[in-house]
Chains A and B, each alone.
Chain A
Amino acid sequence: MRSEILYPGAFPLVKIELSAGEQIKAESGAMVGASPTIDVESKMEGGFLGALSRKLLTGEKFFFQTLRASRGPGEVLLAPTVPGEIVILELDGVTEYMVQKDGFLAGADSVRIESKMQSFARGLIGGEGFFILKIGGKGPLIINSFGAIHRIDLKPDQEYIVDNSHMVAWSATTSYTIERASSGWVASFTSGEGFVCRFRGPGVVYIQSRNPGGFGAWIRQFIPVSE
C-alpha cells in the first residue's frame, strides 16, 4: 500500500496504490474511483453486534468497506464527505489512537479498528457519541477532518484545552476530562459552546479547525423554514 495525498488543502483526494492481493479498509462511501482490478467488499468490522451498536448509537455507517486488489495491482481514490484536510499517520504497532467516528477515512489491512463504548459522561456530553474508534496495529492510518488538521504535542503532564466539537484523534496515552466551557448550564446550552476537553499528556492530539455542528447551525439560518 502506497498512499499519496493529492490536492492538499480543503478538497484533497487520497490515491492509494495496491499491489496484487493487497487490501485496505475504508470508510464506506469514501471511494471516488478505482482501477478495474479492485473489488469492494463490505465487512462488519468488530462483528455484527459491534457494527449494530455503532450504527444505533453513533448513527455511523454500518459497514466499513474492504477494497481488495483481487485481479492484479491497481489504485483507488478516496475522499471524505466534508471539505477538509487528510492526514496519514504511520502506526508503529504500539501507538494507539482514539478517533472520533467521522475522523476515519482508511487504513491498511493490518490496522486494527475497534469501536469502543466510552464512559457515560464523556459519551453524553463529549460530543463524539457513545462510541469512538480505537485504532491500533501497524501500517498507515488515514484520517480526515472538517477544515484543517492541527496537531498538538503534549509532553508528560502537559495540559491543553480543546473544544469538544473540534476533536479528531488523540493518542491513547493521553487522558482527558470534560469541563463546562462557560459558567452556568443555560449559558453553555444557549451559546452553543457546550463543553471543552482538558487533555493531559504525554501524547498527540489532532484537532480540526472547523466545527461541523457550528457550521451546520450557520447553514440552517439560510434555509427557509416552512410554516
Chain B
Amino acid sequence: MIPHEWRETLPRMSSSPNALCFGHEFPTSGVPCLVQIGLQGLTVVFTSDGQEQQEDIPFTALSISVGGLDHDHLVLKWPSKQGERLLYLKDAELIRTFRRVAPPSVHIPFEQAASVARLARWRRMGAWGVAFGILLTGVAGLWWGSDLLVALAVERIPVEWERKLGEAAYRELLARQDLVKEGPAVSAIQEMTRRLVEQIPHNPYKFEVTVVKSDVVNAFALPGGYIVVFTGLMQNAACAEEVAGVLGHEIHHVLQRHGLERIVKRLGLVVAASILVGDQRGFAGLMKQFSVEFVGLTFDREQETRADIAGLHLLYDAKIDPFGMIRFFERLSANDEGRMEWLSTHPMSRGRAERLTAELAAMPQLTPVPFTFDWAAVRESLGAPPSAEP
C-alpha cells in the first residue's frame, strides 16, 4: 500500500478536477479527476455519485508523452488492474510540480516529451513565419517590379488546371460568336496548327483553334491552348505563311503561359502568395470570376517580343517560310490602324519586324515546304478576293 505521507508532502493544489483520465471502461470523452503529486508518485481521485475513489501510481510505473491537438497536454500512461490508463494533464501548475518532484528516472522522458511539444510549437510558429515572410517578400517583390514572384506562382499552376480555366472562357466566348465550323478555311488552319504543334518538344497542351466569322483583323490565345482566329485576319493575309506566323506567335503565348502571368499580375499579390503556399482553390474561385476578362487580355511588350522570336523559330522548325510572318507585320504597321484590331492588342512597330529580320538572318538558309491547300481558294471561301491588296 501507499504510505500516507505521500500526499502530505505537497499542499493540496485544488479540490476540483484538474485532469482527464481515459481507460477501457471509461467514457471516451474521459473522466475528470483530481491529480495530486507526491514524492513517490501520483494520486488520482475520481468522484462518481458522491463516492471518492482513488488510485496511487508510483512514478516508476509511468510512461510519458505529449498529446492533444496542440501538443499541449502531458500524457501519463500506466498499466492499472483494469487495463491501460491514460491521464491528460494541462494545468500548468500541475505540470510544473510534476517536473520538480519527479525522480531522475522520469526526467529524461519528461524532457524528451517537452522538447517534442516545443518543436511542434516552433514548427507552427515557423510555418506562420514563413507565410508572412512570403507575403512580405511578395509585397517587396511586386513593389520593386520584380516578376519573380509572378513567375514562381505561375509555375505552380498545373497545366490541366490552366486548361480547364481557358476552356471555360473559350466556351463562353464562342457561344456568342458566329463560328466557321468547316470548309477550306478550317482545314487550312488545322493544317497550319498541326505542322507547328508537331515541332514543339514535350508539348503539354492540346491546341484547339477555332475560326470565328468577324471582320476584325485579330487572333488571340487563351491559357491552356485555346486559340481563336478571326476571318478578318485570314482575309487580310496575302498568303498562308502570314497566318501561320500569327499562329506561331499565339502558340507561344500559350506555351510561355503569358495569359496566366498577366492574370496573376493583375489579380496581384494575394493570389500569387496563395498559389505559392499551395492554396489553389482560392485562385480557382477568382479565376472563374475573371474568366471573361481573358478575352480582353493584352500582353506586355516583353511577352510580345518573346512570342515573336519563339514563333519565328517554330515556323522555321516546321519548314514554313518565316518571311510570311515578317511581311505580315510590316504590312500591319503600314496599314490603317482603325481596322486592325491585332494592332490594339499587338502594338506594331517597325522595330518588331526588324528584330525578326535580324533573328532570321542569323539562322541557316531554309527550304520551305509549302502547304497542301490553295490559299486563294481559302480566301474565296471567306468571300475575299483571291489575292489581297499589296
Residues of A within 8 A of B (CB): 92-96, 98, 117, 119-121, 124-125, 153-156, 170-176, 185-186, 189-190, 194, 201-204
B278 and A125 contacting across the interface, CB-CB below 8 Å: yes
B32 and A176 contacting across the interface, CB-CB below 8 Å: no
A interface footprint on B211-228 (CB within 8 Å = 1, 0 otherwise): 000000000000000000
Instruction: Name the CB-closest residue of A to B24.
Output: A155
What is the CB-to-nearest-CB distance from B322 to chain A, in angstroms, rounded to a whole number?
37
A183 to B85, CA, bound (A): 38
B281 and A203 contacting across the interface, CB-CB below 8 Å: no
What is the CB-to-nearest-CB distance from B42 to chain A, in angstroms, rounded to a whole number?
16
A96 to B123, CA, bound (A): 23
A interface footprint on B116-146 (CB within 8 Å = 1, 0 otherwise): 0000000110011011000000000000000
**Would A124 and B277 be within 8 Å (CB), given that A185-B158, A186-B158 are in contact?**
yes
Main SS class of interface, A:
mixed
A173 and B17 contacting across the interface, CB-CB below 8 Å: no
Instruction: Name, among A154, A156, A204, the residue most crowded by chain B CB atoms within 10 Å (CB to CB).
Output: A156
**Would A94 and B20 be within 8 Å (CB), given that A173-B30, A189-B280 are in contact?**
yes
Query: Hey, which chain A residues are within 8 Å of B372, CB to CB?
Result: none
A94 and B18 contacting across the interface, CB-CB below 8 Å: yes
User: Which of B65-73, B187-195, B376-384 contacts its partner?
Assistant: B65-73
**Would A175 and B20 be within 8 Å (CB), given that A120-B124, A189-B284, A203-B30 are in contact?**
no
Query: Does B164 lie at the interface of the complex (its beta carbon under 8 Å from any beta carbon of A)?
Result: yes
A176 and B69 contacting across the interface, CB-CB below 8 Å: yes
A95 to B68, CA, bound (A): 12
A185 to B158, CA, bound (A): 9
A154 to B128, CA, bound (A): 30
Q: Which of B20, B27, B67, B278 contacts A124 (CB 8 A)?
A: B278
A202 and B28 contacting across the interface, CB-CB below 8 Å: yes
Query: Does B263 lie at the interface of the complex (its beta carbon under 8 Å from any beta carbon of A)?
Result: no
Query: Hey, which chain A residues are within 8 Å of B30, CB to CB?
Result: 94-95, 171, 173, 202-203
Query: Hey, which chain B residues are within 8 Å of A204, CB to CB?
Result: 28-29
What is the CB-to-nearest-CB distance from B78 to chain A, in angstroms, rounded to a whole number?
13
Residues of B within 8 A of A (CB): 16-20, 22, 24, 27-30, 32, 67-71, 73, 84, 86, 88, 90, 123-124, 127-128, 130-131, 158, 160-161, 164, 277-281, 284
30 pairs from A and B in contact (CB 8 Å cutoff): A92-B17, A92-B32, A93-B16, A94-B20, A94-B32, A95-B29, A95-B30, A95-B32, A117-B128, A119-B124, A120-B128, A120-B130, A124-B279, A153-B27, A153-B29, A171-B30, A172-B68, A172-B69, A172-B73, A172-B90, A173-B73, A175-B68, A175-B71, A186-B161, A189-B161, A189-B284, A194-B281, A201-B28, A202-B88, A204-B28
Query: Hey, which chain B residues are within 8 Å of A155, CB to CB?
Result: 22, 24, 28
A138 to B20, CA, bound (A): 14
Query: Hey, which chain B residues are within 8 Å of A171, CB to CB?
Result: 29-30
B32 and A173 contacting across the interface, CB-CB below 8 Å: no
B20 and A119 contacting across the interface, CB-CB below 8 Å: no
A203 to B68, CA, bound (A): 9
Query: Hey, which chain A residues are within 8 Å of B20, CB to CB?
Result: 94-95, 173
Query: Hey, which chain A residues are within 8 Å of B130, CB to CB?
Result: 120
A173 and B67 contacting across the interface, CB-CB below 8 Å: yes
What is the CB-to-nearest-CB distance from A197 to chain B, in angstroms, rounded to a whole number?
11
Q: Given A173-B20, A173-B30, A189-B284, list of 20 further CB < 8 A pairs?
A: A92-B32, A94-B17, A94-B18, A94-B32, A95-B30, A120-B127, A120-B131, A125-B278, A125-B279, A153-B29, A156-B86, A175-B67, A175-B71, A186-B158, A189-B161, A201-B28, A202-B22, A202-B28, A202-B86, A203-B30
A156 to B67, CA, bound (A): 11
B131 and A203 contacting across the interface, CB-CB below 8 Å: no
Instruction: Name the CB-closest residue of B to A121.
Output: B127
What is the CB-to-nearest-CB distance from A38 to chain B, in angstroms, rounded to a whole number?
30
What is the CB-to-nearest-CB distance from A139 to chain B, in angstroms, rounded to a whole number?
13
Instruction: Name the CB-closest residue of B to A194.
Output: B281
Query: Hey, which chain A residues are within 8 Å of B32, CB to CB?
Result: 92-95
A189 to B128, CA, bound (A): 24
A153 to B284, CA, bound (A): 36
What is the CB-to-nearest-CB distance from A129 to chain B, in angstroms, rounded to a whole number?
12
Instruction: Name the CB-closest residue of A to B23.
Output: A156
B127 and A119 contacting across the interface, CB-CB below 8 Å: yes
**Would A173 and B88 be within 8 Å (CB), given that A93-B32, A154-B28, A190-B164 are in contact?**
yes
Query: Hey, which chain A residues are within 8 Å of B68, CB to CB?
Result: 172-175
Query: Hey, which chain A residues are within 8 Å of B27, CB to CB?
Result: 153
What is the CB-to-nearest-CB distance from B177 to chain A, in angstroms, rounded to a whole number?
14
Query: Hey, which chain B residues are within 8 Å of A203, CB to CB?
Result: 28-30
A156 and B127 contacting across the interface, CB-CB below 8 Å: no
What is the CB-to-nearest-CB distance from A182 to chain B, in angstroms, rounded to a whole number?
14
B17 and A93 contacting across the interface, CB-CB below 8 Å: yes
